[in-house]
Amino acid sequence: MEGRETGVRVERDSLGSMDVPAEAYYGIFTERARRNFQISGIRAERNFIKALALIKKAAAAANTELWLLDKSIGDAIVAASEEVAEGKWDEQFPLDVFQAGAGTPFNMNCNEVIANLAIEKLGGSKGDYSLVHPNNHVNMAQSSNDVIPTAIRISTLFSLQPLMSEIGKLAGGFRKKAEEYKAVVKTGRTHLEDAVPIRFGQVFNSYAKALDDCARKIKAAEDSLLQLGIGGTAVGTGINTHPRFKQLVVAKLSEYAGLNFSVAADYVLATWSASAFLEASNSLRLLAAEVVKICNDLMLLNSGPKTAIAEIVLPEVEPGSSIMPGKVNPSIPECAIMTCYQVLGNDYAVAEAAKSGQMELNVMTPLIAFDLLWSIKLMTNMLKMLDEFCVSGMTVNAERTQQLLEKGLSMVTALNPYIGYEVAAEIVKIALRDNKPLPQVILESKILEEKDLSKILDAKAMTEPGLVDKQLQQRIQGSEGFKRFKQSLR
């Protein structure tokens, strides 16, 4: 009904009456929550609103089919829900993501918007809940306690689809680089010190494989999210629902969302447990951790360009300094790492929220929804950026890579089976002390002949398993030069 002041209508609930903007499709519950919870200014994600609307549509269709809801009311609710799911009324969802526990304001916001849209479809005016009631009709056979966890599951699954696509694209980008530079051998590095050789093809393929593994873990989390507890209502017992409701509403949600949902094995567990959300968040944490490592590698390999490693060249995307002309920084990996750190922090918040349930409910679901969906959005956008503005334009400086490979001393590792660890270690010490290349020290020590040394110190051969040449081993260890050098170590 319209209030005496222009632009408002008066609505009443068990706490009293309140003015609601006349043009608003939400009602008194949403208005109270809007005034109470002004924390971040951040609203719910589009996919979350879409998921809520699909739940309302499925519930109305199921209750109509079960003869519990008048067909005209049910049809109006279904039509209104479709409009909300399509995004036509997003401005009618003003609530902060930080709000009352269990997401009751989110649920009631959706109930009120759909109710008022349905009222108008039936020829009534907003606020005339005698036609369509937010609780009695739109929320029939539901509770915030089963609606919100179900909405988190559905919206997370919607949001993961583009993320999985971006993971695949980035992994494919690294595979392309692996094929392009499969023959380029570089110095391996462990503890940030020179190590045995490795091919860039192997390095880049390992990045792709890491991303593939993360995608598999996310897929496993998706399987857990497909089990829905809708129909459990307040505590999972299904009070105020038809015996066939949960099966029917889940089947309709599968149809509407295009996903293969199933009813939860234990509805009480599904009502209070946040394990599926934590599993999804953990999979994002693993992805973030791997991306941080990969980006750190890219920045180190790109470092320089004159005084450090500079084995790869990352695309220039912006000037790197406000004071140093010509300086270019690895801006894309830097941004990627910052994004991953935020996701790691979000995962911690989800973990804390997941363990904070009491008795038959976890009231921290609004926080879980916000952090989980935000993390997915951050990772999706970040991976797209990393692929398009960094990895796709990345090149390997083969000349620089060869220069550093020739200076490295860890190639001596290939000599271990032929001359032993102690002799090899002494050769490294001499090379460092005299600032001489490794092959020069070996030849001057008369331990090996040049032709044998070239065979053993084949960098490409060092990047894969191989058999020790027993005849060459015996010949080297039986030579006078080797015996004299080894004797000098005593």
Question: Looking at the annotation, which residues are catalytic?
Answer: 321
Q: What is the DSSP string of 229-287?
A: -TT-TTTSS-TTS-TTHHHHHHHHHHHHHTS--EE-S-HHHHHH--HHHHHHHHHHHHH
Would you state the structure tokens that stand for residue 22, as one six-digit string?
A: 């006349």
Task: Give the pLDDT score at 187.
Answer: 96
**20 DSSP β-pair partners:** 9
Beta carbons within 8 Å of 359's beta carbon, 6+ residues apart: 272
Percentage helix, strand, coil, to 5, in the chain? Answer: 60, 10, 30
Listed residue (334, 322, 309, 463) closest to 386, CA to CA: 334
CA dist list (Å): 64 to 57, 67, 75, 118, 249: 11, 5, 8, 15, 11
DSSP conformation class of 321:
-
Strand 262-263 versus strand 227-228 pairing type: parallel
Task: Give the pLDDT score at 1.
Answer: 44
Would you state the structure tokens that stand for residue 122, as one six-digit string?
A: 């039936």
Q: What is the rounded end-to-end Cα distance, in angstroms, of the chain?
A: 102
* Three-class DSSP category at 343: helix
Domains present along the chain, CATH in parentheses: 8-140 (1.10.275.10), 146-399 (1.20.200.10), 409-488 (no CATH)
Give this prediction's pTM: 0.93
Using 70 as the pLDDT threshold, list the residues of the chain that sit under it.
Answer: 1-6
Would you state the structure tokens that stand for residue 462, as one six-digit string?
A: 């060092």
Q: What is the DSSP string of 361-403?
A: B-TTHHHHHHHHHHHHHHHHHHHHHHHHHTGGG-EE-HHHHHH
Look-up of token digits 């290349």? 437
Q: How far apart are CA 420 and CA 415, in angstroms?
A: 7
Listed residue (488, 469, 468) closest to 480, CA to CA: 488
* Three-class DSSP category at 4: coil
Q: How far apart are CA 488 and CA 423, in angstroms?
A: 10
CB 89 within 8 A of CB 117: yes
CB 245 within 8 A of CB 62: yes
Listed residue (352, 348, 376, 372) closest to 362, CA to CA: 352
Q: How far apart are CA 250 and CA 260, in angstroms?
A: 9
Beta carbons within 8 Å of 414's beta carbon, 6+ residues apart: 196, 456, 457, 461, 462
Listed residue (271, 272, 262) closest to 142, CA to CA: 271
* Three-class DSSP category at 183: coil
CB 120 within 8 A of CB 199: no
